[in-house]
Structure 1
């Protein structure tokens, strides 16, 4: 009886142990996929296998060197880990690249230079760096003014896609004339020509891939190459965008305004049968709420140029009449907060209407424009009345 019991116990133990082995193997198979199975890691490894030869503006990238491959791998992995940014690259490129390509072709420059705008700003008009570089092509103020862009408290043409693209092409052309290499020209675009000249002179090397440069510039060309690699074949990297997914190329009418006084942008918007935000969005170089005095080319929505001039003239006449009836003469003891409370309008609105900031010191006799339904005009000051400048009074 005891021998029979032990015999069955051995059989049961063997069956349980065999089942454990089978279950463990199955779990292990799920945890460790075979080489033929897809995994995130294997997908990334495959993505790093860049087709050779690789060039930037016709200049070969020495991918046979391990250090160069590692620098490129780093930027590819960084980009692929930020798929949201890559998707926006692809979508925005459909809006902007056609014009950039056209300008590059007009100047007989390499098409690859368009990817610099991706590395610089990801094609965002209001992009600003911690070093003060602004716009699609990230010009600092000094270089921007050197290449003819207006930069002042009212206008910053670094935000103007068309003006900044022409300036960037001119700058890159000049840099190529200095360094004789598009790769070095792009590096100089990033760190400045004087800085790059100094490094070449001190290190006695004029090959970008051999130069020891600031980390940002050491990565810069590889960031441009990463944009080129992914955007030239997005499907390889899992980005399957249809034409409907892409942002449409820019379409607009252009009008010219000449004015001897600042003009509220909302008036231009109304004359163009659109809204304030639309005018600001397609003219991001206008920094404030007004178009400054002078002659300006302004973009408006496609199809709205017809009849614009007539509508604009009518609206300007109405605004001028309203403005004359909205002059407030500063009294002793007035400040922005008390005036705001008196006329029930926000302090910020008063500052916008008058182009002032919160630190503006108000003196008796100064004049402010205030649009409010909480006052009526009384010509109580004879001097102001004679001058045609009525004083706004509370009822």
Structure 2
């Protein structure tokens, strides 16, 4: 029965139906049922995002299941090696594909941006190897190890070169096949996806341009800060930075309308404000700067995503001032 279902997947790489593969499927469907149902619930949040990017790049839709083995479909997870996010990108790889990785914002955990980066990486690997089995193991171990294995084996056939790869990489293709199987045929094993956050009307994304805290979003949507963080783990300090392009955040659909009203009100309140930069001088404090520009310390901290009152010389602060109050010192 399992073998027949595997045949219908039409995977774009070679694999063997052996004890290792069947054991991995059993782990998903029997031994780890609770974890699998949680993973399936998280998957429902992301598949449409994955599919759109994969289709745009002309890549196989089946690659939507790669994050199952990379992260268990957990956007907020990090590894001991330093990889993070759904696609488990390393910091240098993420930056090479244009992602921001710093203490305030880690876009490896941004579902949209990390998916775009991972899909571009997969496309580049296919251009290099021309074989999806080799692409998968190169994604796991790096292109150099695959090239070395190909050279040692004198062949690009997975069955011949796999013994020259690290153990983790040797089982990567079977792990992917098992993940694809359970994601496709979970209902046949009486598995029920469990969503990490309740949403009566499903989930939607909204683009946020102005700086907002998770606390503000929580008040607008009646969600907890913890629930918002689960859905949007890239914002490390529960603050969404101001952005010209905007940041896409995921929320239950029923909360989007109220959040849009709050954002529109914020824009209306700020339409007469002038944005500028102020450079900290010696002995200046948030309180002295607030007094200088006749603003609140709380606003200075909000505008600059500050968690405390500490400042350093030559640090830049973003200010949003009434045009009437703008003075020459700025």
Q: Give TM-score, length-normalised by structure 1.
A: 0.60
CA distance 1:246–1:175, shift in 2 (3 Å): farther
Match of 1:99 among 49, 59, 74: 49
Structure-2 residue corresponding to 1:134: 84
Deviation of 1:221 after TM superposition, in Å, equals 1.2
Q: What count of residue pairs does the alignment treat as equivalent?
A: 275
Q: Secondary structure at the match of 1:209?
A: helix
Q: 2:261 corresponds to which residue? A: 306
Shift in Å, 1:219: 1.4
Partner of 2:114: 164
Q: 2:296 corresponds to which residue?
A: none
C-alpha distance in structure 1 between counterparts of 2:186 and 2:213, whole Å: 44
Q: Is 1:219 aligned to residue 171 of structure 2?
A: yes
Deviation at 1:118, TM superposition (A): 0.8
- The 3-state SS of whatever aligns with 1:234 is helix
What is the CA-CA distance between 1:309 and the residue it aligns to? 3.3
Partners in 1 of 2:59 and 2:232 — Cα distance? 27
Deviation string, structure 1 residues 337-386 (Cα, Å, up to 9, x no partner): xxxxxxxxxxxxxxx73176xxx9x9xxxxxxxxxxxxxxxxxxxxxxxx
Correspondences of 1:217-366 after superposition (within 5 Å): 217-239=169-191, 249-257=202-210, 264-267=213-216, 270=219, 276-277=225-226, 279-292=228-241, 295=244, 296-299=246-249, 301-304=255-258, 305-311=260-266, 327=287, 353-354=307-308
CA distance 1:202–1:143, change in 2 (3 Å):
same
CA distance in 2, matches of 1:52, 1:272: 42
Go from structure 1 to structure 2 and tell me whether the alpha carbon gap of 1:87 and 1:242 turns closer, same or farther (over 3 Å shift). Answer: closer
1:178 alignment partner in structure 2: 128
Check the 8 A contact 2:75/2:110 in 1, yes or no: yes
TM-score (norm. length: structure 2) = 0.70
Spell out, residue by residue over 1:8-54, the C-alpha distance to the aligned partner (whole angstroms, 9 max, x if none): xxxxxxxxxxxxxxxxxxxxxxxxxxxxxxxxxxxxxx75x554636
Q: Name which of 26, 50, 57 aligns with 1:77.
A: 26
Larger Rg, first or second structure (1 or 2)? 1
1:253 offset after TM fit, Å? 2.5
Say whether the 8 Å CA contact 1:252–1:303 is kept in structure 2.
Answer: no
Q: Give the C-alpha shift of residue 327 in structure 1.
A: 3.6
Cα offset, 1:234, TM superposition: 2.0
In the alignment, the residues of structure 2 paired with residue 104 and residue 204 of structure 1 have an alpha-carbon distance, to the nearest angstrom, of 32
Provide the rounded CA distance (Å) in 2 between the counterparts of 1:96 and 1:179.
27
- Superposed CA RMSD: 3.7
Q: Aligned to 1:251, what secondary structure does the other structure show?
A: strand
> 1:267: how far off?
4.5
How far apart, in 1, do the equivalents of 2:117 and 2:63 lie? 13
Gaps of 5+ in 1: 1-45, 64-68, 318-324, 329-351, 363-395
Q: Deviations over 1:172-219 (max 9, x none)?
A: 000011111111101111111122212222232312233212111111
